[in-house]
Structure 1
Amino acid sequence: MTEIPHEALSDHFQLRMEGRRLRSAVLMTYQFDPGFFEQEVLPAFFDIGLSHASTVRLLQLEDAIRDLAGEIAVYYDAGGLVVGDAGSAKLDVRYIPIQHNAIFHPKNVLLLVEDEEADEDGFHPLTLLVACLSANLTRSGWWENIECCHVEEIAEGDKTRLKDRLTKFLQSIKRRSPDQTSHAAIDDVLAFLRASEQRKQRSIGGELLPHFYQGRQSLPDFLSGHIRNQMQGCYLEIISPYFDDAEQCQPLNELISLFDPKEVRVFLPRSGAGEAFVRKELFESVDELPNVHWSHLPKDIMRRGSREEAGVRFVHAKIYRFFTQSPKREICFLGSPNLTRSAHQKGGNLESGFLLEVPTPRRPYFWLSPDSKTPMEFVVRGEDEGASDVSSPLNLRYNWDTEKASAFWDHKAPSPELRIADRNVAIGKIGPLAPREWTELEEGVASAIASSLRNTSLVEVHGDGDKSAFVLIQEEGMSHKPSLLLQLSTADILRYWSLLSAEQRAAFIETRATVLAGTGTGDDLVVRAKIALDNDTLFDRFAGFFHAFGCLERAVRKSLEEGQPKQASYRLFGRKYDSLGTLLDRISAQRETLDAVDGYVILMCCKQLCTEIAKDYPEYWSKQAENAMKLSGRFTELESVRDRLLKDNGDDFGEFLSWFDKWFLKRAKPVEASDG
């Protein structure tokens, strides 16, 4: 392969997702911008049309995530949190910070997907997409830098060389996380891998199978154990943005010693002004090595645009190309490891990558060209470039269902007394905290955290060192978090329940939420359209009520039958814009203006739905006893709607309503036709 393949990351994942539906996702990154991730990265994993307006897009994603069979989880380095322009996290995604003795540096995307179309047996086959890349989950990683990425697909029940190493890698991530952390997304992937078969052969027909590197051994040992014999005396090309602040490049010297390459070309990272991002002594020592050349990428790859005067992009890719020309063969390693000791040695950074053979229809050649221009200036940049210079071992968690907050101090020693604040506004004091155990926080602090979370999930931590650090609050019980959109009317909620497809619901949200579009980016691209109203006859209204509740009940039953109680709880007990509880809120707010008959029939439909679900799914209902009790209390509060009917129709009407209540709640059973 001589030409450099290139494609936008989001476009590539969107192509992979065509005709597929996401079930669970696990992502790993060093630097992490949660707002950018939700707005710009997450949409690539959903094969649905989304609005250009940022606020509306979040609403549509909120709806799509709720319907997932599994969960989405992001694991990031606790010191790599980036506070960007896109704001903080708002969606039902599990964000888990990892404390590591060096750097938690893997960049991976694992997507468990199913085909939208069923096969001839009625099943939706599962596939696991496994990506190793160099890009962080940040604006620069996905939009600006030159990065690298490779995706492997594992079909359900496949034989694969990736199973064992990928399993051990995911298990190690769980062990590195704070105690009592839910890893539902990783567990879904592990369950899928258990059903696959580990392939014992390293190659088939002389071609190396893809191998996963999970950092349990040094990178040189990994490469040597798999390709040293095949690639002795090869050509070697290395692209890395970072080098050690040292006089010599020890990782390069070790690779040269192992593979004895004919020629080596190493990418020289430079600024737009020509400064070299390496130490001067290291530059000179590499330059003096025989058959080793500092090199550069083609200008058309480096430029930000097509015009000659466009600036250059930062190269953040990490690629190690081993190739021979006779025979024609190329093997690449790509992923997260830079050409540094902490990335290459055992016990340093936690890294990951793919080793794979590349098809070579033509004789492979170098991508890089020797860089003959000696730098005049040298600037050393570390692997943690761009990350915050302070981090905190503090983990904060808030549960919207229980309305409780807790803290975890991820350090071997107790914490000092800490203060947390939201944009310099005090939230409360915490600690001292015992090391590595969850501590429930005072009710006042929990309440203040809940208030802060309505605006941001990023808070400042003071008291651990001279500088404050940002911490991303981990939110749980998200079905009970007030929705991003709470302006839907009673009629809107019922209409929304009646919509059958994800596309219909996304379009409905965009139309109803355009009033919010001015609060985010892309609002000028939203068309403010009016929805035509249906004929408002008594029959139309009642038919609409029954149809809406029928659709809701079928959706709840489907979720419970498929073992997805989270979706059912969102709809029945949640506080989202289309939850049953939100509908009751709307009725309560409109109790004096809502047509009394309409309000009464809607309330009876609510009661009937709860009665039927409790009867048919007693185990689920008992687990939701507290939520069910709260819902029952809401019905009692809204008895005033029934009282209005009695007041308007006289005392004798009460006898009719009592009879009607009984038979409305008792669902009729279809009569079987007799043979005679």
Structure 2
Amino acid sequence: MNYHTISDLVAESIEGSLVTAAFFSTFSFEPDFFELEIMPLLLSQKSEQGQATYQPALSTNDAIRWQQLERLMAQRHFDISVVYDPTVYRCERSPRLEVAYHGYSPRKGCQHAKLITMVLESPDEDVSDKAVLFGTGSFNLTRAGWWDNIECGHFVKLTDEWAPNNLCTSILEALTFYQQVTANRDIALEKVIAAIDALPKSADEEQIEFYFGRGDKSFSDFISQQREYTELEVVSPYFSESGENNEISHFLNQFESRRILLPIDPRDDSRAKVSEDIYKELKVQGVQWCGWRNNVTQKLKEKEIPRELHAKVYRMSALEGIDLFIGSVNFSYKAFKENIEAGFLIKNCGQDKLLADKSIIASFFDDIQGEKHGDIVNEHGGLPVLNLSYCWKEKTLTINSVLDWQHSIKLMNDANEELASIQKLNNSAQPQVSLMTERLEQHLKNTSLVIAISFDHEQQEVRRELILSQQNVFARPSVLPPLSLTDLLGIFRGMSTSKVLQITEHYAKLSELALMYSSNEDLSDQLQAESQNFFSEFSEINSAFYHLNMTLSQARQENDQRTLDYYLLGKQPDSLHGALHLLTTEQKHSQDIDPVIRYLSLVSIQGTLEQLGEFGGDLATLVRVEISQLEKSNQLQLTDGKDDPAYNAKFFTWFKREFLNSAQFETSGEKA
């Protein structure tokens, strides 16, 4: 066994690759941690040479970091989704990124499996092969799960050379289950499943087997089908509510020697984190409670920081060899029989013993809360989990859930104002949805959390907090102030990712959002005033829009609708709407831009729209109006001194034609 944080393990597994789709499942869930700390691992960028990757440097200020992540996802979009158990998720701060979030709780037990799967591509465009990284273990999508706890996990990488048929079949079975849970609408899952399907399958891998339990097969039966074991070692943070249940007894009876780690409180070595009743009941059944072996203890205490045990490991010895199960399965009835659980059985691994031979005992015992470990006793009642997504581009609210509910549902904000209403749900049809679009969008600019309210069959009010996923967030109004023309044209020219992130950080510091959330960064007066640095040479505008037009033309040829939508429909500062917002005469910041520079920039936007055939849209109309107003104003003075409106109109018509023709070529001595 190797020792890492889960974060290190994932970073090491995807190093040198670009993630093009990703799916996660978890029990406990912290969306803000996921977006701020896990998402950056997936957003590696292609190096300038195009054959390697690097991790962009991001701000430590959370509000700024979110803005930088939005920018990275806009530059290299891929689909990401998460399935979590909504009975235990903790959302201290609302998620903001374009991730599909699906809450799911089975009728019995809980969604306890922790899966990670990603489609990986080489940054080298000459290498077309794809790989699929797949991992499972004990780690939740939380700070504790990825950084702090003692956790376990195992990863495999499926490639053109190694994609064992038995592993692919069992992994696809699990992913297909989640696809059904998400009403077959999850694009990330579709891409992962398609990538695995496309791999040429190799012979079965006899040394590893994937387990996925969803209440249809017992973990005890899965182990008993492997081979005849004699010795058992168990590492688990949680145990069955009773040590006398038949499922646990059946499992223990497969082994002659049964040793279980006594989970000692890392802050009080006289206290065991297990109830005294369970301790005694399992001891009666022949269990020997032990501590870690010395070499394992030394590994786990390298940093001298108390760490909570959350790993679930089963080491099993037989005459033929030693097998190791690593996964999400606690030593409990719910985990064995009812929960959705997952793990890898690694055969003949030669793993040394984990537990000491000598028994230990504690002076004090603590009961552990079962709901924190997937041991939920009661079946779920109340309002069912709704998985909702709002599309900023289409302005539609979609329900991605398969369920029946015979009452209308209202979505509310914290001020008890209605955001949307949903007719009763029926599996056979998409329900009718009524939106208060302006109020809903104003709400979603600040938070993805909504409150769903309805009535049960006894006419009692039921409510639930929900995460509302957001799609096409490039069309969501930005919290950043307008860019300077210098920075805007620099981005159009193809500014490097690191420079774009620096600019994003600068403008985010100027925004009210950063001031609201920042608690430890000194925002000096200098950052409160936007620098006024504008181009004085026309060639800079020509060159910037030349590069932008090349980008959009390539996007159209490659049917890259997302890039086209970002620039034509998006509301971000570096979209064409953002550029128009910067240049419009009603805006205070535009008054400091030289009228000629503003005019040339507006004409360039018009030329870009015409080149793409976008003549009749709202953006094209707004640009024409702004150009017309500027031409009729006294801000543009012709140097020949003529003051004839007819002559001026002819001049502007001629000038726009010639200027737009010149914008089709590189200037300033660069190639045509």
Superposition TM-score, scaled by structure 1 size: 0.82
Partner of 1:456: 447
Question: SS in structure 1 opposite 2:505?
Answer: helix
Deviation per CA, 1:101-154, whole angstroms, max 9, x where unpaired?
231222111122222234xxx235422211212111122222332211222112
Partner of 1:617: none
1:109 to 113, 116, 136: 116
Tell me, in whole angstroms, the C-alpha distance in 2 between the residues paired with 1:537 and 1:632: 24
C-alpha displacement of 1:582: 1.0
Is residue 2:377 matched to residue 1:398? Answer: no
Tell me, in whole angstroms, the C-alpha distance in 2 between the residues paired with 1:23 and 1:528: 41
Superposition pairs of residues 171-250 of structure 1, within 5 angstroms: 171-177=176-182, 179=183, 182-203=185-206, 208-209=207-208, 211=210, 213=212, 215=214, 217-225=217-225, 227-228=226-227, 232-233=229-230, 235-248=231-244, 250=246
Is residue 2:532 matched to residue 1:538? Answer: no
User: CA 1:88 to 1:391, structure 2 compared with 1: closer, same or farther past 3 Å?
Assistant: farther
Tell me, in whole angstroms, the C-alpha distance in 2 between the residues paired with 1:62 and 1:385: 33
Measured on the aligned residues, the alpha-carbon RMSD in Å equals: 3.5
C-alpha displacement of 1:515: 2.9
Deviation per CA, 1:198-249, whole angstroms, max 9, x where unpaired?
334332xxxx145353646332333334x315xx32x321112222222425
Q: Give the conservation status (yes or no) of the 8 Å contact 1:113–1:128.
A: yes
Tell me, in whole angstroms, the C-alpha distance in 1 between the residues paired with 2:193 and 2:564: 25
C-alpha displacement of 1:71: 0.9
C-alpha displacement of 1:529: 8.6
Partner of 1:351: 341
Is residue 2:476 matched to residue 1:488? Answer: no
Tell me, in whole angstroms, the C-alpha distance in 2 between the residues paired with 1:591 and 1:396: 39
Deviation per CA, 1:33-92, whole angstroms, max 9, x where unpaired?
2122111221122332212121221111111112335311112223233122xx111111
Superposition TM-score, scaled by structure 2 size: 0.83
Is residue 2:19 matched to residue 1:19? Answer: no
Tell me, in whole angstroms, the C-alpha distance in 2 between the residues paired with 1:21 and 1:528: 39
User: CA 1:82 to 1:438, structure 2 compared with 1: closer, same or farther past 3 Å?
Assistant: farther
Tell me, in whole angstroms, the C-alpha distance in 2 between the residues paired with 1:629 and 1:601: 21
Tell me, in whole angstroms, the C-alpha distance in 2 between the residues paired with 1:14 and 1:164: 26
Tell me, in whole angstroms, the C-alpha distance in 1 between the residues paired with 2:302 and 2:453: 40
User: CA 1:509 to 1:241, structure 2 compared with 1: closer, same or farther past 3 Å?
Assistant: same
Is residue 2:71 matched to residue 1:66? Answer: no
Per mean C-alpha deviation after superposition, the further-off stretch among 193-202 and 526-535 is 526-535
Question: SS in structure 2 opposite 1:473?
Answer: strand
User: CA 1:304 to 1:462, structure 2 compared with 1: closer, same or farther past 3 Å?
Assistant: farther
Q: Give the conservation status (yes or no) of the 8 Å contact 1:148–1:334.
A: yes
Give the aligned residue type for 1:9: I
Per mean C-alpha deviation after superposition, the further-off stretch among 266-275 and 523-532 is 523-532
Structure 2 unmatched ranges of 5 or more: 44-54, 666-672
User: CA 1:37 to 1:321, structure 2 compared with 1: closer, same or farther past 3 Å?
Assistant: same
C-alpha displacement of 1:498: 2.5
Give the aligned residue type for 2:657: K
Question: SS in structure 2 opposite 1:198?
Answer: coil
Tell me, in whole angstroms, the C-alpha distance in 2 between the residues paired with 1:156 and 1:598: 54
Partner of 2:31: 34
C-alpha displacement of 1:384: 4.1
- Aligned-pair identity in percent equals 20
C-alpha displacement of 1:435: 3.5
User: CA 1:369 to 1:93, structure 2 compared with 1: closer, same or farther past 3 Å?
Assistant: farther
C-alpha displacement of 1:287: 0.6
Partner of 1:76: 84
Is residue 2:172 matched to residue 1:167? Answer: yes
Q: Give the conservation status (yes or no) of the 8 Å contact 1:266–1:293.
A: yes
Give the aligned residue type for 1:173: Y
Partner of 1:48: 56
Q: Give the conservation status (yes or no) of the 8 Å contact 1:245–1:278.
A: no
Q: Give the conservation status (yes or no) of the 8 Å contact 1:31–1:138.
A: yes
Tell me, in whole angstroms, the C-alpha distance in 1 between the residues paired with 2:522 and 2:553: 38
Per mean C-alpha deviation after superposition, the further-off stretch among 379-388 and 556-565 is 379-388
Superposition pairs of residues 27-426 of structure 1, within 5 angstroms: 27-46=24-43, 47-84=55-92, 87-102=93-108, 103-118=110-125, 122-123=126-127, 125-156=129-160, 158-161=162-165, 162-177=167-182, 179=183, 182-203=185-206, 208-209=207-208, 211=210, 213=212, 215=214, 217-225=217-225, 227-228=226-227, 232-233=229-230, 235-248=231-244, 250-258=246-254, 260-268=255-263, 270=265, 272=267, 276-290=272-286, 292-295=288-291, 306=304, 312-323=306-317, 329-345=321-337, 348-357=338-347, 359-360=349-350, 364-367=352-355, 370-374=358-362, 376-384=364-372, 392-405=384-397, 411-415=403-407, 418-426=409-417
Question: SS in structure 2 opposite 1:599?
Answer: helix
Per mean C-alpha deviation after superposition, the further-off stretch among 60-69 and 271-280 is 271-280
C-alpha displacement of 1:264: 2.9
Superposition pairs of residues 583-622 of structure 1, within 5 angstroms: 583-588=579-584, 589=587, 590=589, 592-614=591-613
User: CA 1:124 to 1:447, structure 2 compared with 1: closer, same or farther past 3 Å?
Assistant: same
Q: Give the conservation status (yes or no) of the 8 Å contact 2:26–2:112.
A: yes
Partner of 2:50: none
Question: SS in structure 1 opposite 2:417?
Answer: strand
Partner of 2:668: none
Q: Give the conservation status (yes or no) of the 8 Å contact 1:9–1:142.
A: yes
C-alpha displacement of 1:95: 1.2
Deviation per CA, 1:580-615, whole angstroms, max 9, x where unpaired?
11111111125555322212221222122222233x
User: CA 1:534 to 1:463, structure 2 compared with 1: closer, same or farther past 3 Å?
Assistant: closer
Deviation per CA, 1:5-25, whole angstroms, max 9, x where unpaired?
321222222233332222111
